[in-house]
Each structure stands twice: as structure tokens, then as C-alpha cells.
């Protein structure tokens, strides 16, 4: 689905399997895929990309909002095909420490990891697309979100969803940090939210209502 001239969204709607949403950022210089999801579902993702006129072999880089398998696994496959793979340094270090144990929880074997670049807090230039990397821990220690100041589009990974928040009971989760990260993102006054699961929120007023609901309903439980 084309969100605008530079952003494509691939929302995972199959209730029979867990997988992340994926987002593609396109400019003359780059084809950057955010959170490719599980390897098993890459053919479906590639089919949808091709229908949008983007060839999968054109992907130049992959950004992981965090290192959980439903976001990361397909990125490792794309790295083997030549794309550059990036993650935050905190998340990379966390994966080296507890990654094998965490993978076993989901029935996976942790592969050897070698990231091509690390996503530090601050500006990220993707050719004609400017993003800001935000440190948003809570769901995992090194989770990041990405903010596009041009139109205040916020890619949240598993920080927040439409009518929900990321869980904090996985290794490295922290409820207090999650709340702090959500509040910092709200201060940016995003006009849209493109999250790691569920539907996008593309209406600015609905974004605000979603933040209100999260603080009212979920914060007391965190």
C-alpha cells in the first residue's frame, strides 16, 4: 500500500500467524525496509512490493526497530542477499547477551549476527528522506522509533499500536521505560503512527485520541 510518494506500508493481517508490519522508504538513492518480519513470509511481502512497482532486489538497507524474531528474521535473509542490516547499538549488545535464550523461547536457533551499521540517536539521511532516530526502550532495551519531521510520521515498532502498547514481560522489558518512551513520542505531536503490528493511524486527531486512551487505560497496568 502506498502511503505517500516515499513510503509504502505492508500490514500483516493474517490472524493465524504472528508477523510484523513492514514499511518501505523509497528515494532515488535508497530502498530502505523497516522490519521485514519472519523469513517464511518474505515471499508474500515481496509479492506485495512487486505489485507496488518496487523490486525486492532493489532493497539497499534494512532497519530493525528491535531484535525480536518477528521483526528481525527476514532481515538476516535480506542481508545474505546483499542488503545492509542496521539496529541500535544497545539492541545489538542485548542480542549478543541474551539472544540465544530469547530465540529458544520462540522455537528458533539464534544465528550468528553481524550488523552492517548501528542506528544512533539523531538524524538519519536516506537520500531525499530525512528521519530522526529516537531511543524508545521498554519493549526491549534498545528499541528505536523513527520520526519523519517533514510530515510528522512516526514509525513506532512495538512501542505503541492502535489501541495498545508493546508488552514488557519479555527479557529486557521495562514498564517504566515504556511509559517514558511513549510520553517522549507524544511530545513530538505525530500526525500519523505506523506501528509494528495492527493498523496504521493516519489521522492526527485519532493519534491524539490513541495517546489519551493509552495513558488512561494502559499506564495504570504497567
Which of 116-130, 176-190, 205-219 has the lowest average pLDDT? 116-130
Angle 121-32-46 from CA coordinates, rounded to 5°: 140
DSSP state letters, 112-161: P---SEE--SEEEEETTEEEEEEE--SSSTT-EEEEETTTTEEEEETSEE
Mean pLDDT of the chain: 94
Q: What is the pLDDT of residues 37-73, one digit of tens each?
A: 999 999 999 999 999 999 999 999 999 999 998 999 9
Higher pLDDT pick, 106 / 37: 37
pLDDT 10s digits, 136-154? 999 999 999 999 999 999 9
**If you average pLDDT over residues 184-193, what whole number do you get?**
98
User: Of 102, 130, 175, 138, which Cα lies nearest the Cα of 32?
Assistant: 130
* Domains in the chain: ranges and CATH: 7-221 (3.60.15.10)
Band of residue 127 on the pLDDT scale cut at 50, 70, 90: confident
Q: Considering the entire predicted model, what is its pTM?
A: 0.95
| pLDDT (average), residues 98-121 | 81
* pLDDT over 90, % of the chain: 87
Instruction: Enumerate residues 6+ apart whose C-beta is below 8 A from 47.
Output: none
Contacts of 129 (CB under 8 A, 6+ apart): 6, 25, 27, 30, 32, 148
Instruction: Report the C-alpha gap between 201 and 180 in whole angstroms.
Output: 21
Amino acid at each position: 500500500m502506498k502511503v505517500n510518494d516515499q513510503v509504502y506500508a505492508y500490514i500483516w493481517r493474517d490472524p493465524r500467524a504472528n508477523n510484523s508490519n513492514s514499511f518501505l522508504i523509497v528515494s532515488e538513492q535508497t530502498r530502505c525496509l523497516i522490519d521485514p518480519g519472519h523469513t517464511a513470509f518474505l515471499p508474500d511481502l515481496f509479492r506485495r512490493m512487486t505489485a507496488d512497482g518496487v523490486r525486492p532486489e532493489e532493497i539497499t538497507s534494512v532497519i530493525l526497530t528491535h531484535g525480536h524474531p518477528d521483526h528481525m528474521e527476514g532481515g538476516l535473509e535480506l542481508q545474505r542477499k546483499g542488503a545492509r542490516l542496521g539496529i541500535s547499538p544497545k539492541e545489538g549488545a542485548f542480542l549478543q547477551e541474551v539472544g540465544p535464550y530469547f530465540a529458544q523461547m520462540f522455537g528458533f536457533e539464534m544465528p550468528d549476527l553481524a550488523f552492517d551499521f548501528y542506528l544512533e540517536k539523531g538524524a538519519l539521511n536516506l537520500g531525499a528522506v530525512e528521519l530522526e532516530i529516537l531511543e524508545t526502550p521498554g519493549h526491549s532495551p534498545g528499541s528505536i522509533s523513527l520520526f519523519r519531521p517533514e510530515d510528522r510520521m512516526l514509525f513506532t515498532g512495538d512501542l505503541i499500536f492502535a489501541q495498545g502498547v508493546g508488552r514488557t514481560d519479555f527479557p529486557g522489558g521495562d514498564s517504566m521505560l515504556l511509559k517514558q518512551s511513549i510520553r517522549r513520542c507524544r511530545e513530538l505531536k505525530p500526525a500519523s503512527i505506523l506501528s509494528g503490528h495492527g493498523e496504521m493511524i493516519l489521522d492526527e486527531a485519532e493519534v491524539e485520541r490513541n495517546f489519551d486512551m493509552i495513558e488512561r487505560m494502559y499506564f495504570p497496568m504497567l
